[in-house]
Structure 1
Amino acid sequence: MSTSAQTAPQSGAGRLGFTAGQVIQEFGYDTDVDDDLRFAIEDLTGTELEDEDYGDVADAVLIWWREDDGDLVDGVVDALTNLAEGAFIVVLTPKAGRTGHVQASDIEEAATTAGLHTSGTVNACDDWTGTRLVAPKSVRR
C-alpha cells in the first residue's frame, strides 16, 4: 500500500470535521462500511465510536446510509436525539456508480426536512462520500 493510500482514511476523517476529544455516535454500521475510515476517526478523536444505543450526548453523529436503508429523513431525525448543541452529522453514502448510491438531492431534502442544511461533501474514502449536516446559523440582529 502506498503512503497516500495509507493516509487517505486519516485525511478523510479530518476533512469530515472530526477533532480530538469528540464523542461520535454511529448509525447504520454493516459489513460494507470502511473500517479504515472508522479506525481513523477513532484515532483522530481518541475515543471509540458509540453505537446506536448510546444514551448520552454526542458531539457528532456518523450515519452510514444506502439507498435501500429506508427513509433518510427518519435516519437524520433519529440521529438528532443525542446531538449536542452546535454539533454536526456526517452522512456517508456509497459513491456514484456503486451499489446503494444515494442522490445528493435526497440528502439535501432530508437535511432540510430535519431542520438542517448541508455544509459540504467530501471524498471520505475509496467507496464512500461524506456530507456534513449542520443546524442553520441564527440570524444576528
Structure 2
Amino acid sequence: MEIALACLAIVLAAIALVVSLANARGGGRRRGDGVDALPEDVHGLRQEVAALRREAADALKHLAVVRYDAFGDMGGHLSWSVALLDDGGNGVTITSIHGRSEARTYAKSISAWKCEQQLSPEEEEAISHARG
C-alpha cells in the first residue's frame, strides 16, 4: 500500500512538472499574455516611473544638519541649522540659536540653492552638505 501511494505521488509530480513546462513554453498562454504584451507593459511602467521621478523632484529629500556653539561661553553644540531642499535647490533653512536665557529660531526661503537674505556660515554649510 505504501509503495502504491509513493508511486502515485511520483506520477502526480511528473504530471505537474509536464503541465508547468508546457505553460512556461506558451502552451497555456492566452492572447495578450507573455512576450506579446511585454512592450505595452514596459511602456506603461516607464510612464509610471517618469511620473514618480517628476513627483520626487519636488520632495524635500536633500537635507543636512549643522550643530555648533553660537556663543563662545556655551558648549554642547546646542545651536543648529538645517537645510531641507528638493532636487532644484528649493526649500528652506531653519536655524535655532540657543543662548543662556533664550533660544531664537529663524527660517529662510531657498530658491535654486540661493537665498535672498544673507545666510550665516552655518546655514551655507548646511546647504552645501545637503547639495552633496
**Normalised TM-score (structure 1):** 0.22
Which of structures 1 and 2 has the larger relative contact order (alpha carbons within 8 angstroms, sep 6+)? 1
Larger helix percent: 2
**Normalised TM-score (structure 2):** 0.23
